[in-house]
Homo-oligomer: A and B are copies of this chain.
Amino acid sequence: MFGKDIIIDGLQYCKWDKEYFKFLKSSGVSAVHVTLVYHENARETLTRFAQWHRFFEEFNEYILPVFSSEDILKAKAQNKVGIFFGAQNCSLIDDEIGLISIMRQLGLLIMQLTYNNQSLLATGCYEKNDSGITRFGKQAIEEMNRVGMIVDMSHSSDRSTLEAIDISSRPICISHANPKFAHNGLRNKSDEVIKALAKRKGLIGLSLYPFHLPNGSDCTLDDFCKMSADLADMIGVDHIGIGSDLCLNQPLDVLEWMRNGRWSKIKDYGEGSATNSTWPKNVSWFNDSSGLYNIYKGLINYGFSENDVKKIMGLNWLHFLQDGLKAQTC
């Protein structure tokens, strides 16, 4: 349906199985940034990678692993979906800077410095006080820069994000979040952060997760396109991608793992609440395999040029990865 266009979804965490890989292929997406871990430590992360090795072995009709931007073009050419891995947290490096290059070698291309809470590296967006990038965090960013692992600040708070943008010698991303001006949620990003990100050639992936959208589950395609247009007016179209945050077919215990990990004795509801504790209802136009195509058409109909829509739907991510994944030394 997308012809020769490269379509990239900058964040998903669905129930990965044969059915879903078929779904992905039928959606026309060329590559997906897959969340490998939320709170898993180094050892547990090996098991996650091992599970994906098995998927690549068993379902190579549908998917292939992405280690560089060239692999995305290869996936497109072979009519498969490229899978590239990111972590929503730094838990997978334990307390050891040497594990950054190890995880990069295993194919972790993107790492968030925090997931909502304070981490060893930075402050998450749910904390009251943001003390910025830590001593370990500064060295971790420099090491990530060196090996070509992309810094992602989707779940971080403002000061930490601004400092990460500043410390990093390479552009960083906010793989999945929306502007606060469209919906004032804890996870969405201030104008200041978005402008600083774009100024340093960073990328923001627009989220389809209802808690991040204007009008939540009732957000219309038009609302989404307006948000996109307003953002493009603010920072230009070259810094915008899609990071849908799609979590299809996942049971409630996965949501509870995301929110509570092993850190919380009192049940945490994230952006939900005790009376609204389950998965939010997806918007109607992004709930099946035609979702990305709906957005593509929606943006065109809203008045974006075809070239700009191609950038937002994939080319910006592709070029961002092209630059960001190269090691600084060999």
What residues of chain A have their CB less than 8 Å away from a CB belonging to chain B?
42-43, 46-47, 49-51, 53-54, 57, 96, 98-99, 101-102, 105-107, 329
Contacts and interface: CB of A to CB of B under 8 A. Distances in A.
A236 to B, nearest CB: 37
Report which residue of A46, A54, A102, A105 has the largest number of chain B beta carbons within 10 angstroms of its beta carbon. A46
Contacts of A99: 46, 50
Nearest to A103: B46
Contacts of A43: 42-43
Given A105-B105, A106-B105, A96 B50 contact: yes
A54 B98 contact: yes
A52 to B, nearest CB: 9
Contacts of A49: 102
A47 B99 CA distance: 7
Nearest to A98: B50
Q: Which 3 A-B pairs have the closest CB atoms?
A: A50-B98, A43-B43, A53-B101
Given A42-B43, A57-B329, A329-B57, A106 B98 contact: no
Q: Is the interface of A mostly helix, strand, loop or mixed?
A: helix
A54 B68 CA distance: 23
Contacts of A50: 96, 98-99, 101-102
A208 to B, nearest CB: 32
Contact of A47 (B46, B57, B98): B98
A156 B102 CA distance: 30
A96 B54 CA distance: 13
A82 to B, nearest CB: 15
A25 to B, nearest CB: 19
Nearest to A57: B329
A301 B88 CA distance: 63
Contact of A42 (B46, B53, B54, B96): B46
Contact of A102 (B98, B106, B329): B106
Nearest to A44: B43
Contacts of A47: 96, 98
Contact of A106 (B53, B54, B96, B106): B106
26 contacts: A42-B43, A42-B46, A43-B43, A46-B46, A46-B96, A46-B99, A46-B102, A47-B96, A47-B98, A49-B102, A50-B96, A50-B98, A50-B99, A50-B101, A50-B102, A51-B98, A53-B98, A53-B101, A53-B102, A54-B98, A57-B329, A102-B106, A105-B105, A105-B106, A105-B107, A106-B106
A317 B198 CA distance: 53
Nearest to A54: B98
Contacts of A54: 98
Nearest to A52: B98
Contacts of A329: 57
Contacts of A101: 50, 53
A42 B44 CA distance: 10
Contacts of A51: 98
Nearest to A330: B60
A49 B96 CA distance: 12
